[in-house]
Structure formats: structure tokens, C-alpha cells
Amino acid sequence: MSDRRSDRADDASLDLGLLPELLSYQLRRAQIAGFQDFAAKVGDEGVTPGWFGLMVIVDNNEGLSQTQLARALGIDGSTMVATIDRLEGYGWIRRERSPHDRRTHALFVTDEGQEFLARMVPKMRAHEASFGAPLTAPERQELLRLLRKMTGI
């Protein structure tokens, strides 16, 4: 390594300019930090936050369609296909032709999917606890309130 001080040396010295005062920037940083903590505490089966959320929504809305699920997650229906394919391949989600509208696939969490969720939920709560650990309980609630207020409920 050079000992010339005219070369910038350690990364910690970088000046982030106006970034730290931007909500967008701090939100992105917090979300990345959350993702990394999730990967360490929850993601040992290769699961992502998105997959976890998808499983929870199907579990709480049995029989919903792929289109409804895609809308709830804000993604295109074509994107949903491969995701459900994989989750079905893992045996966690089951597609069923709806008898009322034979175009739609009603989605269900299988027994194996229930076991997966039963394993995940405590890990998810542990992740929440460790990720939110720097905050007091009222601060954590206030953060949730402010985030909800900003995005509109």
C-alpha cells in the first residue's frame, strides 16, 4: 500500500455529501442492513424476505389467485409464475384450478409449507428483535408509525 497521503487511503474517510440527510438514502441503508441481518438469522434455507412475505400472505388468504398475490406484492403476473413454480417445487405451495373460474389458480400453503412457516416465524421474530435492538421499544413503535404514516397507512 502506498504511503503517499495524496492517495485516498481508508474508505471510512469518504465524504458522503448530502446523502446522509436524505430519507431515501437512510431508508435504503436501513433496508440493506435489515436484509443482511435477515440473511444471517433467517435465511439459512435460502429464503428471502420476499418469499417469506409471499408465504405469509398465501397462508392468511388461502385460495387467492396468482394475480391477486402479484398485485399485493406489486409485481407483474408474469414474474409470479416462476416464483410459484419454485415454491411448488419445494412442496410449500399448491396450485388448484378454481371450479368457479377455470382460468385462475387458487393458491394454498401445503402441510410442508406450514412446517416451513412454523420454523421461519420464530426466526423472523428473532431477526426483528436483533435488528431493532439499538432502539427502545417506544422508539421501535415510533419508527413503525412514521414509516406507515409516510407510505400512507
Partner DNA sequence: TATTGTTATACTCTATAACTATA
Partner DNA sequence: TATAGTTATAGAGTATAACAATA
Contacts to DNA by CB under 7 A: 2, 48, 50-51, 65-68, 70, 74-85, 95, 101-105
CA distance 77 to 123: 29
DSSP state at residue 104: P
- What residues contact residue 47 under an 8 Å CB cut-off, 6+ apart? 120
Which one, 95 or 140, has the nearer CB to DNA? 95
Pairing of strands 93-97, 105-109: antiparallel
How many C-beta neighbours within 10 Å does residue 84 have? 19
What does 102 interact with, of a second copy, DNA, none (CB < 5 to 8 A by kind)?
DNA
116, interface contact from a second copy, DNA, none, CB < 5-8 Å by kind: none
Helix orientation angle between 49-60 and 111-131, rounded to the nearest 10 degrees: 130
Tell me if 39 contacts a second copy by CB under 8 A: no
Residues contributing to the site for a second copy (CB under 8 A): 2, 4, 6-8, 11, 14-35, 38, 49, 53, 56-57, 59-61, 63-65, 68, 71-72, 74, 98, 100-101, 104, 121, 124, 127-128, 131-132, 134-135, 139-140, 142-144, 146-152
